[in-house]
Structure 1
């Protein structure tokens, strides 16, 4: 019927509150020069001419369902500067009550609020608006089959399946209820409340959350190679925005800046280009270091000068010189080719002859730790001892009691050569490290099951299952974790490189954003430990 103004007659009580003193009578007249249109009526009541009559960058919330007040595609064709939302899931910026009401109720109930007031509703709105400007988790992007999501015209409302809504909105509502004086059971510890909400949602990432919180307490500089790649850039953005690490992007500046522009990633962190003029002094220092370390192992001054322009050498040399605290590399190359320059530049920890690598397997039940998954193909008994010791120390650093099973395809038989090797390693561990909870040789399904373990009362594992599995060969460990990763049966984190004096970790080729974030988080914790400031 048009504008609710002073000339309208027989208005309902609900409409009387909205009477406007205006000479406008129709929707078309009301939209001339308007900044915002909010429709909650019926489909196709707004014409292209009406949209064109609005101010620059008009905000149009056409929320009628199933047909909006103006079709989304028609609006986009009519003017490029429109900022539009609908109630439809097949268009960007869906306005859906699922963004608000479940979490408003959650926050209200958790503080036993005596009602839901305007402060609580506004708190929910502000939390949703703030969330839209934060980096979007990879799982949300994948759920909607998109390459990326960044705040802008096509994304200014969070997606309904964004799992962060439960914590951000519920916590904001709970705080507003407390501040407005209607909460009968105030919350004292909002960090604990956040973890409680995630647990209720079935989030099996307690260990990752703990690691991230520890990293945030003292974030370290992390050099990130392959920074022109979307996944690395996006991970760097998340690490920076969440305060987990202080990323340093290593690579060709022009490519990195072009990628930032292409993917609309806003990231104000240092970019280090190994071949740039401003790195001349560093190249000279690094060349001298590399030549001094390797001049008796095939690297002459010419090669050293050439190699320091290669980011696979330049980045480890940054770490060796203290120009970064940790290093994440390997996104685009196979593991061994990236490991070689790292080992040529970074010293091993005292007592370590060979480095090894470990994978974290985050199952629904608990975390498991597999080693060695990447480096030593057929370890000797003595090398198995070192792998077990390094892995045990890492697990302890996470405040988890390591219970090690030395694996074989036999249980305490030592018949095959492989089992004999494992049994010898166990004997050494029992004699030299009697406090370690370790035993074998044992099959993995027996080591991970209390009932099976009860058949071996002499075992140091007792009846409490192992959480740390040391494999007899690289083939066995690598295939095992990659089967788990391929089946998506559990989340995998790593490989965690063990045995170096400084924090270096090498990605699996084409790691996901989440995998890079998780490994970088471990790199920060590793740097904290090795720099003595945990």
Structure 2
């Protein structure tokens, strides 16, 4: 879909775009401006072009929405744009004009990024500051002076937090999966369940006594219509699950009495629902440890063929890009073989969620600049990955600055295809990974989605005990997409 984001209204600039569109043109106002709309209508009439337009917000209503629910504000704009712009039309997006060119500049830059629509502006020599500000925020833009003509700019490829969330929701909806949430006694789980059902993202199973769950939901004004509730204390599946658990674990000392007891545990019961294909994935851990979530999964679901250990990946959604960090949750001191597996499964996870992986195995050394035991582990892991998984772009050992910054990469690892362009970062141990993801989350306004457990045959994912409702929603959506694979 071709589009252009017009920062400030100019008749010639609009007309030049109309000429490019071969009469198939539609105008989009993220925030409707009646004066500009009237001018556009007259302009289209003048050049015998049909005037088509749509908008998302009127007048000042956008300000309240943006202040209270900024992510929802941008997600609505992305969704409206994709739904209402025919793919064979040229879309002209009219920038917000409420506080003037400079007053609305930051918002308009954000909107251009959200819509991945190249920005055009009409200016004069007095606006060198505009050129400076745009260069700081955008990969490219078109800044025209006087009577200059222009050529069409290529679309942006930003992945903002709202766009990443929108893409995940869209993918989850395309093939709905059934997700188990065992911790129905937790208010956060109930609120997340309401959102997930109302937005038709997944089908849900809650575990527990239906009367208690519905009473709790009613007391906090939560609607659970459409949610299936199963009580592990007396469900129709208990006998079947007891037999499965006993047969699977009897060589490890499991007794029938112990199996009967464990089946009534919500985490074991939820895992068995996934194991027997009665659900596609489980999300747990809002009130329990990671070990409590993983243990039944390792006993019953087990790891994928060719994978010996489970690891945890975080999707770090920054202002306009998404990085993958691993292993932030499970393996304290990975061996070279484990580190290679983590790199492989993380690259697969990135690709599953629409990110083409460029994998950097991190160290305090870039190439052969340093030495030490941990550097040797990373070097060996890189060799294993390149030998076993040549389909992925991988390099290391590499320092974080060389992995992410093209200028630093040129001096430290000039021959690397990954250096300067990495988006999947494999840390040498759990200490480094866990500290780094939390530092980025807290200081860079990053949305940290995870940990997503990788390496299991079926998705079982863990929540932090300090998770927010939004975290639960995102983890459920990611689990649903994992289950689609």
Does 2:402 align with 1:402?
Answer: no
In 1, distance between residues paired with 2:93 and 2:255? 55
Match of 1:482 in 2: 438
Segments of structure 2 that go 5 or more residues without pairing to the other structure are 1-28, 44-52, 96-107, 115-159
| 1:171 CA drift (Å) | 8.9
Which of 305, 310, 324 aligns to 2:279? It is 324
- Partners of 1:107 and 1:173 within 8 A in 2: no
Q: Specify the SS of the correspondent of 2:251.
A: coil
- Report how many residues are paired: 385
Deviation string 1:149-195 (CA, Å, 9 cap, x unpaired) is xxxxxxxxx897344467769999999xxxxxxxxxx8426999899
Which residues of 2 match residues 272-283 of structure 1 at below 5 A? 272-277=229-234, 279=235, 281-283=236-238
Q: Specify the SS of the correspondent of 1:295.
A: helix
Q: TM-score, normalised by structure 2?
A: 0.71
User: Mean alpha-carbon deviation: is it higher for 361-370 or for 106-115?
Assistant: 106-115
- Partners of 2:178 and 2:202 within 8 A in 1: yes
Query: Do the aligned partners of residues 501 and 196 (structure 1) sit closer, same or farther apart at CA in structure 2, a change above 3 Å counting?
Result: farther
Which of 21, 29, 33 aligns to 1:105? It is 33
Deviation string 1:351-405 (CA, Å, 9 cap, x unpaired) is 1111111011111241111111111111100111111111111112223221111
Does 2:463 align with 1:507?
Answer: yes
User: Mean alpha-carbon deviation: is it higher for 507-516 or for 203-212?
Assistant: 203-212
Which residues of 2 match residues 403-442 of structure 1 at below 5 A? 403-413=358-368, 415-442=371-398
| 1:461 CA drift (Å) | 2.8
| 1:493 CA drift (Å) | 0.5
Match of 1:200 in 2: 111
Segments of structure 1 that go 5 or more residues without pairing to the other structure are 1-100, 132-139, 144-157, 176-185, 530-534
In 2, distance between residues paired with 1:169 and 1:196? 13
In 1, distance between residues paired with 2:281 and 2:218? 26
Which protein, 1 or 2, shows the higher relative CO under an 8 Å CA cutoff with sep ≥ 6?
A: 2
Which of 183, 189, 203 aligns to 1:232? It is 189
- Partners of 1:104 and 1:170 within 8 A in 2: no
In 2, distance between residues paired with 1:221 and 1:207? 22
Query: Do the aligned partners of residues 223 and 489 (structure 1) sit closer, same or farther apart at CA in structure 2, a change above 3 Å counting?
Result: same
Which residues of 2 match residues 117-132 of structure 1 at below 5 A? none
Does 2:474 align with 1:518?
Answer: yes
- Partners of 2:210 and 2:231 within 8 A in 1: no
| 1:460 CA drift (Å) | 3.3
Match of 2:300 in 1: 345
Which of 364, 367, 373 aligns to 2:322? It is 367
Query: Larger % of strand: which?
Result: 2
In 1, distance between residues paired with 2:443 and 2:111? 25
Deviation string 1:438-466 (CA, Å, 9 cap, x unpaired) is 11111112211111111245643355421
Which of 68, 75, 80 aligns to 1:161? It is 68
Q: Specify the SS of the correspondent of 1:438.
A: strand
Q: Specify the SS of the correspondent of 2:380.
A: helix
Query: Do the aligned partners of residues 430 and 167 (structure 1) sit closer, same or farther apart at CA in structure 2, a change above 3 Å counting?
Result: closer
- Partners of 1:330 and 1:508 within 8 A in 2: yes
Does 2:268 align with 1:313?
Answer: yes
| 1:488 CA drift (Å) | 5.5
Does 2:184 align with 1:217?
Answer: no
- Partners of 2:450 and 2:463 within 8 A in 1: yes
Q: Specify the SS of the correspondent of 1:406.
A: strand
- Partners of 2:205 and 2:230 within 8 A in 1: no
Match of 2:123 in 1: none
Larger CA Rg, structure 1 vs 2: 1
In 2, distance between residues paired with 1:170 and 1:444? 32
- Partners of 2:402 and 2:420 within 8 A in 1: no
Query: Do the aligned partners of residues 292 and 480 (structure 1) sit closer, same or farther apart at CA in structure 2, a change above 3 Å counting?
Result: same
Match of 2:207 in 1: 250
In 1, distance between residues paired with 2:219 and 2:390? 57
Q: TM-score, normalised by structure 1?
A: 0.64
| 1:406 CA drift (Å) | 0.7
Query: Do the aligned partners of residues 194 and 325 (structure 1) sit closer, same or farther apart at CA in structure 2, a change above 3 Å counting?
Result: farther
Query: Do the aligned partners of residues 226 and 511 (structure 1) sit closer, same or farther apart at CA in structure 2, a change above 3 Å counting?
Result: same
Q: Specify the SS of the correspondent of 2:337.
A: helix
Q: Specify the SS of the correspondent of 2:411.
A: coil
Query: Do the aligned partners of residues 167 and 207 (structure 1) sit closer, same or farther apart at CA in structure 2, a change above 3 Å counting?
Result: closer
| 1:410 CA drift (Å) | 1.7
| 1:326 CA drift (Å) | 1.3
In 1, distance between residues paired with 2:164 and 2:264? 38
